Amino acid sequence: MATELRQRIIKETGLPISFGLSVNKTVSKIATGEAKPNNEIRVIQGTEKPFLSPLSVKKIPMVGEVTYRALCDLGIKKIQTVQEMPMDMMARVFGKNGIAIWKKANGIDQSPVVQYQERKSMSSERTFHKDTTNVQKLESIIVSMTEKLIYQLRKSNKLTACITFKIRYSDFQTYTLQKRIPYSSADHKIIPLVKELYKKLYKRRLLVRLVGVKFSHLVAGGYQIDLFEDNAKIINLYQAMDKMRDRYGDRAVMRAVGINTTKKRTY
């Protein structure tokens, strides 16, 4: 079936396509890489180790540049060497990652194939170690987490049409407020709305335990320029900021109001 599908794609589109077929995701992924640019490889059950053994350890999923250099420093360059090593030795050197690498090198992967699902929302929350009424601190964290989420939107080529703000007080009473908006992934459109929702929910006499921001009703797409409010300068600014974040991390460029915030938890 896979061969027939590949041949149909080649015939109808003229595009090259490769695939790897095996008993699990790890071996199939490696086989696909070996089949490129335009071939197919089937690894028969029971032949996973011989297929993997002559390949570079760099072919193992989750072995990045740092781990690869560490393995090379130990004289481990081929997958066969990992196969011949005791698993507990890999664990002593690389911890849990060592066990995972050893299993993948031996063609062992029990992870299930999960059907792809479009992401419906993204959110970020911050729980304080000590409940606070520090308005400056609250606004700083809210702006910072919102800015990071917006960057994730653009990086994922997504737009949001619903903004939700969440606040939990020291008595564990939790309140949320949301607002529908035209689809957007622009800082100057979303951040003011989040601050507006926060100000509507914030009660100054109560200590705050948690704040959170959520984007929902996500759709695929890039930011659409507003002919009446946007200009090329601000669009170029977002593109430049995102390039710096892609290269140096999501906190490489940020608004001054959020610069003193600590690392946040996102999911």
Report the pLDDT value the prediction gives residue 188, as an integer from 0 to 100: 87
Tens digits of per-residue pLDDT, 164-184?
999 999 988 999 999 999 999
Cβ atoms 105, 83 nearer than 8 A: yes
CA 32, CA 53: separation in Å to the nearest integer? Answer: 16
> What are the φ and ψ backbone dihedral angles of 230, each rounded to 5 degrees?
-95, 165
Report the pLDDT value the prediction gives residue 40, as an integer from 0 to 100: 97
CA 88, CA 95: separation in Å to the nearest integer? Answer: 9
Report the pLDDT value the prediction gives residue 202, as an integer from 0 to 100: 92
Report the pLDDT value the prediction gives residue 231, as an integer from 0 to 100: 64
CA 206, CA 227: separation in Å to the nearest integer? Answer: 42
Tell me which residues of the chain have a pLDDT lower than 70: 116, 222-232, 234, 250-267
Question: Token match 């589109």: residue?
Answer: 13
Entry pTM: 0.51
Which residue ranges form the domains of the chain, and what is each CATH number? Answer: 2-105 (1.10.150.20), 121-266 (3.30.1490.100)
Tens digits of per-residue pLDDT, 23-81?
999 999 999 999 999 999 999 999 999 999 999 999 999 898 889 999 999 999 999 99
